[in-house]
Structure 1
Amino acid sequence: MRKRSLSLAVGLAAAAAVLATPAAASAAPGSPMTAVSSDLSASKAEVFSFRGMNLKLPAGWKAHRDGDRVVVVTGKCKKPEPFAANCRSFWVFGPRAITKVPVGGGSITYTGESQFHPFSGVVSCPFDAKTSWYPGEKASSTGLRQVGPGHKAKYTAWPNQCVTESGGRRTTSFTQQEWFLPASKILVVDVWNTPGLSGVLKRATWS
């Protein structure tokens, strides 16, 4: 009887382990979105505030502020600056960074009608410093997106290409996403298709 009870206990333990395996697998961060969701509820998440907009950043995201420009690093980054190559991040700009932008020998103020690309010369591609950034001129998607209660941003997606400096051969393509809040004068720009960013913006609070 004792041997039979021991065998039954071992069998039940093995069955419990088998049943627990799928649950453990489903809890693991199998996708970037899952990782972001779990990080948001973690105590390590920090709140980034900019011109009254408060974003709860997942653990591992770090905001680097330089006046009216902020780079929120989300992964590997060699140089946390806007438009710097090889830096997984998104950027947040205030009014001083999007007005009187020096382009083509003059200056313009960002309105969302054209892609935010405040350079007259060649800029390195975000993913490869050896290639050049060729910005698109026609938006692929537009609309309104919620950025916290009572605030909607003008959302625009712009297609871009990375091309070789000699010969202009295209190496890859990517999309620059922009969320523009004209009343608050805040512009959020993302070229890395950052997982979870749209959700972080949607859950913003305002003060």
Structure 2
Amino acid sequence: MMKRTITLAAVAGAALLAAQLPASANSSTALLRLRGGLTLEIPNSWRVYGTADQVRVVTGACARPKGGYFQPRCDSFWVMGPKALKTGGEGFRRYDPTQGPFYPASDVAPCATNPKYGQVIGKAIAVGYRNIGVAHKAHYRVWPGRCVTYSGGEQKSTFKQREWYLPQSKILVIDQWATPGLATILKNATWDN
């Protein structure tokens, strides 16, 4: 079987690793194996970084792909696990999609598109369920975000934070960049178990 090397966060390990991934049936994609037996078929051009519990999939331009969650100017989405969820709510509370978005901070974090501004996330504008593969329903939320000046709170731009949360598997997918095709990739995911 043909193999392709891409950078992959070893979800079971604690450091960034290079791993061999099996090629998918489509030569322009690769399979990204994540925790809990979840596998996503992603474009070869996307790069994967992270540690045991926080995986960043870079889908375009990115100033610092190995930066932390609030690292701005990085077209990407995140896949978070149980450890990140323990402090993933605002004020470092446990993440709960019914209580608010993933926001592991107690102050105004930098806006994803421009660190000159802070981000403010409002009440969910879409609430429901979406399939991640067959027979795995995720809690789905879309949170409207605003990028505002730190002095005065003047709005400069907007974004939407989409979240897919699988409570049984303790997996959360977060996208602030409206990643093209991500919803379809998640819908077509496969599971080992």
Give the TM bin, normalised by the shorter chain.
0.7 to 0.9
Judge conservation of contact 1:112–1:154 (CA < 8 Å) in 2. yes
Equivalent position of 2:141 in the other structure: 156
Change (3 A) 1:41 1:192: farther
Equivalent position of 1:88 in the other structure: 75
- Count matched residues: 165
Moved over 6 A (4+): none
Q: CA RMSD in A?
A: 1.6
Query: 2:33 pairs with 44, 49, 53, which one?
Result: 49
The residue identity in structure 1 corresponding to 2:82 is P
Equivalent position of 2:124 in the other structure: 139
Equivalent position of 1:191 in the other structure: 176
Q: Give the gaps of 5 or more residues in structure 1.
A: 1-39
SS of 2:159's equivalent in the other structure is strand
The whole-number CA distance in structure 2 between the counterparts of 1:101 and 1:88 is 20
Change (3 A) 1:71 1:161: same
Q: Which has a greater percent of strand? A: 2
Q: Kindly provide the CA deviation profile for residues 50-97 of structure 1, in whole angstroms up to 9, marking residues without a partner as x.
A: 111100111211111222000000000011232210000000000011
Q: Residue 41 of structure 1: CA displacement? A: 6.3
Are 2:114 and 1:128 equivalent residues in the alignment? yes
Q: Residue 173 of structure 1: CA displacement? A: 1.1
Equivalent position of 1:179 in the other structure: 164
Equivalent position of 2:48 in the other structure: 63
Judge conservation of contact 1:42–1:59 (CA < 8 Å) in 2. no
The whole-number CA distance in structure 1 between the counterparts of 2:69 and 2:58 is 10
Change (3 A) 1:151 1:60: same
The residue identity in structure 1 corresponding to 2:172 is L
Give TM-score, length-normalised by structure 2: 0.81
Query: 1:118 pairs with 84, 91, 104, which one?
Result: 104
Q: Give the gaps of 5 or more residues in structure 2.
A: 1-23
The whole-number CA distance in structure 1 between the counterparts of 2:88 and 2:97 is 13
Q: Residue 129 of structure 1: CA displacement? A: 1.1
The whole-number CA distance in structure 1 between the counterparts of 2:187 and 2:25 is 16
Query: 1:108 pairs with 93, 100, 110, which one?
Result: 93
The residue identity in structure 1 corresponding to 2:33 is S
Give TM-score, length-normalised by structure 1: 0.75
Change (3 A) 1:102 1:153: closer
